[in-house]
Chain A
Amino acid sequence: AQTVTQSQPEMSVQEAETVTLSCTYDTSENNYYLFWYKQPPSRQMILVIRQEAYKQQNATENRFSVNFQKAAKSFSLKISDSQLGDTAMYFCAFIFYNQGGKLIFGQGTELSVKP
C-alpha cells in the first residue's frame, strides 16, 4: 500500500527563522511526483513545490526547498526566512506518473509562524 507519513502534527517557528517539515512515504513504484501543498485558513490548496522522482536535484522555489532522499523515501520541506503568511497546514503528497492525478496525502503539519 502507498502511504505518506508526516510525523509532526504541529510546529512553530519564529519569524525570519528556518523550519523543516518532515515527510516520509512508502511505495514500490519508481516513477512518481512528490508535492508539498499549503492550506491556509481559507482552505484553498496552494502548491508550494513539486519534485519529480527521477530528478536527483532538489527542487527550490524562492524560500522553499526540499531535501529529497529517494532511497530513504524521505521528502522534507525547508522554509527559510519564515513569514507570518506561512502560517498554515502543510501537506505532503505524491502521485504516480500514470494514475490520472490521484493524490495520496500525509496527515498534515500545522505550522505557526510567531512574530
Chain B
Amino acid sequence: GAVVSQHPSWVICKSGTSVKIECRSLDFQATTMFWYRQFPKQSLMLMATSNEGSKATYEQGVEKDKFLINHASLTLSTLTVTSAHPEDSSFYICSARDRGVSGNTIYFGEGSWLTVV
C-alpha cells in the first residue's frame, strides 16, 4: 500500500542552528502535504499545508520564517526549523493524501523527534 516516509526519526541540534525534516510519498504523488506538531499528551496541531510548486499555507500563529516549508516535487516536502530553540523541541509529523484508489486516504509519516539543546 501507499507509504509516507519521514526522515530523520530523531534529531538533536544545538540552539541557534537549523534542521531539516523530509517527508516523502513513496508510491503516489502528493500535490498537498501537511505538517503537524505534537506535544506530549496532546493532539496533533496543524502547522501548515505544503503545496507542490507554490507557497505553503500556514496556520494562524505559526511563524513562516521560522518553519520553512518547501514542496519542490510531487513526492517530497521538507520542513526546516530555522534558528532552533529549546521550545521548538517537539514531535513533528507529516501527512499526505492519496486521491487515487480509495479517494480520500490520508497517510502519515513515522514522525520526527526534534530535541534542541
Interfacial residues, chain A to chain B (CB-CB below 8 A): 33, 35, 43-45, 47, 50, 91, 95, 97, 100-108, 110
Contact = CB atoms under 8 A, between A and B. Distances in A.
B49 A45 contact: no
A27 to B, nearest CB: 16
Contact of A44 (B96, B97, B110): B110
Interface stretch (B13-21, B40-48, B76-84): B40-48
Identify which of A44, A100, A106, A107 gathers the most chain B CB atoms within 10 Å of its CB: A100
25 contacts: A33-B104, A35-B106, A43-B38, A43-B93, A44-B108, A44-B111, A45-B44, A45-B95, A45-B111, A50-B104, A91-B43, A91-B44, A95-B104, A100-B31, A100-B32, A100-B49, A101-B34, A101-B95, A101-B96, A101-B97, A102-B49, A103-B95, A108-B42, A108-B43, A110-B41
Contacts of A110: 41
B49 A43 contact: no
Contacts of A102: 34, 46, 49
B58 interface: no
Interface of B: 31-32, 34, 38, 41-44, 46, 49, 91, 93, 95-97, 104-106, 108, 110-111
A50 B103 CA distance: 12
Dominant secondary structure at the A interface: loop
Contact of B108 (A45, A97, A108): A45
Nearest to A10: B41
Contacts of A106: 43
Identify which of A45, A97, A102, A106 gathers the most chain B CB atoms within 10 Å of its CB: A45
Given A47-B105, A91-B43, A97-B104, 7 more contacts: A33-B104, A44-B110, A45-B95, A45-B108, A100-B49, A100-B97, A103-B34
